[in-house]
Amino acid sequence: DAGVIQSPRHEVTEMGQEVTLRCKPISGHDYLFWYRQTMMRGLELLIYFNNNVPIDDSGMPEDRFSAKMPNASFSTLKIQPSEPRDSAVYFCASNPGLAGIREQFFGPGTRLTVL
C-alpha cells in the first residue's frame, strides 16, 4: 500500500488567497484525521471523519477553515481567506477503525506558508 498521500507537499501563498490541501487515506481505512502542527502549539487535531461523515470539528480554529470528504478515498481541507498565522504543517492521518488496531498512519504532511 502507498500509505496516506497528501498534496501538495509545499504551498506558499499570499494572505487572503484560498488554499486547498488534499488527502488520500489508506484504502479500507474508515477514519480520517486532519492535524495542524506548529512549534508553539504542537500537533493539534482539527477535524476527523468516520465513513466520510464529519464526527468532530471542534478543533477547527474558525470559519475560514472547512473540510470535506466526498468519498472514501479523498478529503480536502480548505482555508479561505488564508492568513499568515495559518502557516504550519498540516498532516492527514487514517485509521482502519478496527478495535484491535489503534494506530493512526500519518501522511507526509503539507508545509503551508502564508506570506
Partner 1 sequence: QKEVEQNSGPLSVPEGAIASLNCTYSDRGSQSFFWYRQYSGKSPELIMSIYSNGDKEDGRFTAQLNKASQYVSLLIRDSQPSDSATYLCAVRGGNKLTFGTGTQLKVEL
- Applying CB under 8 A, which residues contact partner 1? 31, 33, 41-45, 48, 50, 55-56, 91, 95, 97, 102-104, 106-109
Rounded least distance, CB 81 to partner 1, Å? 27
Nearer to partner 1, 86 or 109 (CB): 109
Rounded least distance, CB 82 to partner 1, Å? 22
Which residues, other chains included, contact 112 with Cβ-Cβ below 8 Å and sequence gap of 6+? 11, 13, 19, 21, 79, 82, 86, 87, 88, 89, 90
Nearer to partner 1, 28 or 97 (CB): 97
Nearer to partner 1, 84 or 97 (CB): 97
Nearer to partner 1, 45 or 72 (CB): 45
Pairing of strands 10-13, 110-114: parallel
Q: What is Dmax (Cα atoms) for the chain?
A: 44
- DSSP annotation of 26: P
Rounded least distance, CB 109 to partner 1, Å? 5
Are 20 and 7 in contact by the 8 Å Cβ rule? The answer is: no
